[in-house]
Amino acid sequence: MRLVSLIAAIAGLAAALLITPAVAKDKSLYERLGGYDAIAAVTDDFLDSLEKDDKLGRFFHGVSKDSVMRIRQHVVDLICAKTGGPCYYTGRDMKTVHEGLGITKADWDIMVKRFGETLARFKVPEQEQKDLAGLVVPLEKQIVDHAS
Ligand code: HEM
């Protein structure tokens, strides 16, 4: 009987070892990031760092607090939706909303750096950072004004 229990325990452990990584991998990026509140907190920190940045702050000069919060909500919804969360993005597409702002490649590179700093501040694990970068990096061609 004790041998049966031992075999059952070993089988249980083996099953757990086999199943746990598969379950973790199956979780959406939204879940792995910690859900809506975590995404909202990261977005707030990120936008705050852009507004305070010497070079990027100019994009938010003369923009009311309410308008900044509207942008913020769209960014939260976009990340939530793109990472597999239960949100629906109602904002404009990335090309339309950034067209005419004159965002240069140098601005883009600063933004990427600030984004990385925010993720580090929140101790977002390496895999999730890579997965987020995979969503943001391809947006460059829609957001950067390559003529400027
Ligand atoms: C250097 C990089 C960027 C700068 C300087 C920038 C700046 C801005 C500015 C000034 C607006 C307000 C435009 C307006 O309403 O007239 C805006 C809106 C927005 N941006 Fe960006 N942005 C940058 C990158 C990004 C990236 C990487 C994302 C996506 C993760 C993003 C997502 C959005 C969203 C969702 C909105 C609001 C859309 C809407 O109102 O319908 N932006 N951005």
Q: Which residues contact 139 (CB under 8 A, 6 or more apart)?
A: 94
Separation of 135 CA from ligand 1 center, angstroms?
15
Q: Determine the pLDDT at residue 5.
A: 60
Task: Give the position of tokens 């600063």.
Answer: 110
Question: Whose C-alpha lies nearest to ligand 1, atom 43?
Answer: 98
Separation of 8 CA from ligand 1 center, angstroms?
A: 55
| Closest residue by CA, ligand 1 atom 13 | 97
Q: Is the CB of 78 under 6 A from ligand 1?
A: yes
Q: What is the pLDDT of residues 24-60, one digit of tens each?
A: 668 999 999 999 999 999 999 999 999 999 999 999 9
Residue 93 phi, psi (nearest 5): -70, 160
- CA 28 to centroid of ligand 1, rounded, Å: 24
Tens digit of pLDDT for each residue in 66-105? Answer: 999 999 999 999 999 999 999 999 999 999 999 999 999 9
- Fold for domain 29-143? Globin-like (1.10.490)
